[in-house]
Amino acid sequence: MAPRASWAVTIDEDTGLISVVDARLSMSALWTPTGPITSRTGLVPAGSEPGRVTATAPTPNGEVHMSPFRAVLVDGRSGGGGTYTLTLDEVEDIDVLGTAPADPADPRVDLIVWQQSDTYHGDPDSQLRIRHVVGDPAPVPTDPEVDGSPNYLARARITVPAGASALTNSDIEHVALPYTVATGGVLPIYSEAEREAIDAPWDGMTIYRYDRLWLEVYDTGDWVVQGVAVCASVSDRASAITSPRGGQCCVTTDTDTLWQYDAPTSTWLRMGSASAPRGLVYLYSEDDNPAWATFTSADTVIYSKTVAVEPRRVYQLDTCGPFKSSSAGTGIELKIHVGGTKRFSSLEEELPSSGLNRVLRARGTYVTGASETSLALQVRALRLSGTGTVTPGAFTDQPFELSVMDIGGTSGALIEG
């Protein structure tokens, strides 16, 4: 394409006009670019959804109604170029069933389209039309073909049920259209997939993610989240923040934790003092159904759980519960195993006379290693003396519990070896 006449100059001394293509190419510079001389087709954002198609309310009939809108439509025809700015300045009423009554036997699919004709391309006129394109009835209907100018946008798909005398909003499916904004403006985007489909983003381009409620800026090939990102969880953060930058912050709402990205190690680190306690990590409390039934001399697993932890942290592991024996003089031990290895235990406790409760407790401090991210915990009980059968005691005295408490961090030097 050769250099085009600029907006606005006189190129014809007789008429003082430039061509319509020159005008459209010049005006296209005002809208979101998709390349050096191309722009983005889409809706111009407004306070309410532009161009929405709705059924008649409160009493449905055979009409639908389109709200006002502005939109940008790229001229895609050969020899053309630039953009049309489409405008509907008041509600448009469309008599769907009055124009084409429903078939008595089969449904059909109609389209509502915005179509721009242009005499420059040989059309009979140069008009914007809000068209109702009627489909063919069929057991499984499909979209009708749109005749006339190929410069159009489909805005709604209406399924006309067989024998229908009125249309409701459930019969109307909106065709999702992208947004476009003034060049350099913040571009609304519905999803990550739509973001990835943006043509020719430039450094500094800014988008607003409707699905995440945050801003992203394009920088040297990456989309970078601005401000403090809010994510549902660590896994949500990993999928949503695809290009974290050093110093970037994120809150995960499932644990109300603030994180900061550390670029040298490519990891997210909790913010705050490394040695500060972080409180309860896990709690199991059972005061209704016992976690175990009976045991005699066997080393019996009462409860097991794998708990997520962090490396180089100090945890307090604590378990307790009520026990009783079928006969006096029965001694038992309550233990906490980590990864199958006994770590902490109560002293041998002799249960009182038959049927009476005694609460046993085992607890201790455990320091996670440099790469340890989970604890495979088991609470076990073992009869050491006596002949009684041991069963859960009355939970009115004390429920059976297992808790894991983060009580602080430590440096690598303190846990070496």
pLDDT digits (tens, 9 = 90+) for 225-262: 999 999 999 999 999 999 999 999 999 998 888 899 98
Residues 161 and 212 in one domain: no
Confidence of residue 397 (pLDDT cuts 50, 70, 90): low
Domain boundary among 209, 239, 270: 270
Q: Is 50 exceeded by the pLDDT of residue 411? A: no
Answer whether residue 13 shows pLDDT above 70: no
Q: Got the DSSP string for 247-285?
A: T-EEEETTTTEEEEEETTTTEEEE-S-TTS--EEEEEEE
* Listed residue (368, 358, 364) closest to 336, CA to CA: 364
Residue at 101 is within a domain: yes
Here the tokens at position 314 are: 């100090």
Query: What is the pLDDT, as a whole number, of residue 415?
Result: 38
Lowest-confidence region among 184-188, 216-220, 413-417: 413-417
- Do you find a cis peptide bond into 8, omega within 30 degrees of 0? yes
Residues 32, 58 within the same domain: yes
Residues 319 and 404 in one domain: yes
- Whether residues 33 and 61 share a domain: the answer is yes
pLDDT level of residue 144 (50, 70, 90 thresholds): very high
In a domain, 227, yes or no: yes
DSSP string across 288-319:
SS-S---BSSS-EEEEEEEEE--TTEEEEEEE
Q: Find, among 300, 296, 380, 291, the residue nearest to 330 by Cα.
A: 296
CATH number reported for the structural domain that contains residue 311 in this entry: 2.60.120.1340
Q: How much is the pLDDT for 181? A: 97
Residue 8 lies in a domain: no
> Given 226, 245, 270, which residue is the final one in a domain?
270
Q: Is the pLDDT of residue 290 over 80?
A: no
Please compute the mean of the pLDDT values over residues 356-382 and round it to a whole number.
90
Same-domain check for residues 218 and 303 = no
Residue 304's pLDDT band (boundaries 50, 70, 90)? very high
User: Could you tell me if 85 and 193 lie in one domain?
Assistant: no
Q: Is the pLDDT of residue 364 over 50?
A: yes
> By the 8 A CB rule, do 217 and 226 touch?
yes
Task: Please indicate, yes or no, if residue 119 is contained in any of the structural domains.
Answer: yes
Same-domain status, 28 and 167: yes
Look over the chain and give the mean of its residue pLDDT values, rounded to a whole number.
88
| Averaged pLDDT for residues 398-415 | 73
Higher-confidence residue of 299 and 216: namely 216
CB 30 within 8 A of CB 38: no
Kindly report, residue by residue over 194-215, the tens digit of the pLDDT: 999 999 999 999 999 999 999 9
Distances (CA, A) of 29 to 70, 86, 183, 376: 17, 16, 7, 61
pLDDT of the residue at 4 = 63
Higher pLDDT, residue 77 or 101? 101
Question: What six digits make up the tokens of 361?
Answer: 């407790």
Domain range for 338: 279-415
Find out whether 130 and 114 touch, Cβ atoms under 8 Å.
Answer: yes
Least confident of 42-46, 134-138, 211-215, 286-290: 286-290
**Is position 2 within any domain?**
no
Q: Does a structural domain hold residue 55?
A: yes
Q: Which one has a higher pLDDT value, 294 or 58?
A: 58
Same domain, 297 and 398: yes
Do 377 and 246 have their domain in common? no
Q: Is residue 260 part of a domain?
A: yes
**How many domains does the chain divide into?**
3
Residue 38 lies in a domain: yes
Q: According to the model, what pLDDT value does residue 141 have?
A: 97
151-192 residue pLDDT tens = 999 999 999 999 999 999 999 999 999 999 999 999 999 999
Is residue 417 scored above 80 in pLDDT? no
Amino acid at 77: R
254 and 376 in a single domain? The answer is no
Task: For residues 32 and 169, state if they share a domain.
Answer: yes
**Model pLDDT, residue 79:** 74
Last residue of a domain, one of 270, 298, 320: 270
Residue 80 scores a pLDDT above 80: no
Q: What is the pLDDT of residue 413?
A: 37
Same domain as 360, residue 247: no
Would the pLDDT of 412 be above 50? no
Name the nearest CA neighbour of 375 among 346, 352, 407, 341: 341
Work out the average pLDDT over 69-89: 91
